[in-house]
Amino acid sequence: MTYLIFDTVSAASAFEFYMQQWRRGELATSSSDDLSCRVVLVAGLRAAEILLAKPLVRAAAPHAARSRDDDPSAAAAAAAAIRSRNAPQPGSLGLVSDAWELQTDRVLPFLTENSDFVVIGIIGPPGVGKSTIMNELYGFDGSSPGMLPPFSIQSDETRAMAKHCTAGIELRVSSERLILLDTQPVYSPSLLVDMMRPDGSSTIPVLNGEPLSADLAHEMMGIQLGVFLASICNILLVVSEGIHDFTMWQQMLTVDLLKHNIPDPSLLAPSNSQGHNVAPDKENSNEEYLADLVFIHTKLWEQDFSSSSITLLKKALSHHFNTASFNVTDSASQAGSSSSQSTEVEEPDSTQPRLLFLPQRVPESSTKFEVESFSSGLGKLRDKILSMNPRSFSKNISERDWLRGSAKIWDLVKKSPVIADYCRTLQSTGLFRK
């Protein structure tokens, strides 16, 4: 197998150069089948280099073997390339698979009997920066060369193809015992295309195996995702793009409406694992559990940070969730004292909606933004979220019991009669394909 590694600028010309070499018989390959060219674009590489790796099935060409023996650095680089290609990718630890199935066996080894942990989930449309925010909460330092982020982020190629990079729910556990849940986007055209059969039906059984059209199944997946996260998280981040998009606000109101008779994980965890560590039930034990919501609006321009715009947005959020069961406000004592306008604007009210902002990402050298840089705003957003005193579960449980309880909640969500009735109502409106 032939590996071509070259600079991104000269990719096309270098590829053509090596193809011409092969046609003239100057490459150590026996046939066109052996010339399986894998192009790896490496930024910063100054000169083109060809690495010959032994095929796994066919016998190696003698010239290729001699080439590696004569050049130890080439052999080492080839081995590193193979290890990198075969290594587990960052997106391999999935709590929920792209087939919409819970995978507790894969996650359980990463959890402990520790009971001092916080679960933070995130939900939002594609390309709003969900994985970037979760990487920041994890503590990932993007300035370190060669380090892959815990959660995969959109590459230029993925963005150009309008593809999503997260499927299902990805789980990571930080050193501070933060259980972070990154999720597939809602309202994602690429996700809809991936799950659609030629006849328009869904390839994914969303509601207990009931056949649905792909567009309706896609809509219900977003609702199930919101209900599930609101049931198993302490903090749920709701991300929107820009200052005028309220689609996710409405989505969470729908989640509030349909989250019926679904408890928190501590009430479904095995009783024998709690023992004397069981905390007293909350005063309002009859109330259903809902994660605390934090609304984040990303990709804001400088004019969006005006005091009048922020004040109006906060008032709109408070009014929107005035009758909802979700807790979307902090008391004045918990609101913090952030002086950055891009993170939160303080108001003299006794309660403040949890509304945070991130500016548009621009080059650090640009003077276009006078408010705050993206990296600075991202760091302050992380500090704000981690300084919260989130709602706890009804009982004290370990990380592993949380996972076991979450598995039961996932089953309740997929079999919920309330969600099934809502699905039938949507189907009867004629807005979705039969």
**C-alpha to C-alpha distance for 17 and 15, rounded to whole angstroms:** 5
pTM, whole model, 2 decimals?
Answer: 0.73
**C-alpha to C-alpha distance for 240 and 233, rounded to whole angstroms:** 19
Q: How confident is the model at residue 42 (pLDDT cuts 50, 70, 90)?
A: very low
pLDDT at 271: 56
pLDDT at 28: 52
The secondary element (H helix, E strand) that includes residue 37 is strand 37-41
Helix, coil or strand: residue 295: strand
Q: How far from 320 is each of 247, 310, 316, 327, 374, CA to CA, in Å?
A: 12, 15, 6, 12, 28
Segment among 52-66, 234-248, 277-291 with least mean pLDDT: 52-66
Q: What is the average pLDDT value for the chain, to the nearest integer?
A: 76
Domain boundaries, the chain: 2-86, 91-291+390-428
pLDDT at 82: 38
pLDDT at 331: 52
pLDDT in tens, 85-144: 333 344 458 999 989 999 999 899 999 999 999 999 999 999 999 999 999 999 988 777
pLDDT at 157: 77
pLDDT at 153: 83
Cβ atoms within 10 Å, residue 138? 20
Strand partners, 52: 2
Mean pLDDT of 150-154: 85
Question: Beta strand pairing status for 292-300 and 169-173?
Answer: unpaired
Segment among 151-160, 235-244, 290-299 with least mean pLDDT: 151-160
Segment among 208-222, 326-340, 367-381 with least mean pLDDT: 326-340
The angle formed by the CA atoms of residues 111, 115 and 117, to the nearest 5 degrees, is 75
pLDDT in tens, 340-372: 444 444 444 447 789 999 999 887 666 655 678
155 vs 335: which has the higher pLDDT: 155
The secondary element (H helix, E strand) that includes residue 427 is helix 417-428
**C-alpha to C-alpha distance for 184 and 170, rounded to whole angstroms:** 8
Cβ atoms within 10 Å, residue 224? 23
Cβ atoms within 10 Å, residue 283? 7
Mean pLDDT of 9-17: 46
Mean pLDDT of 6-15: 42
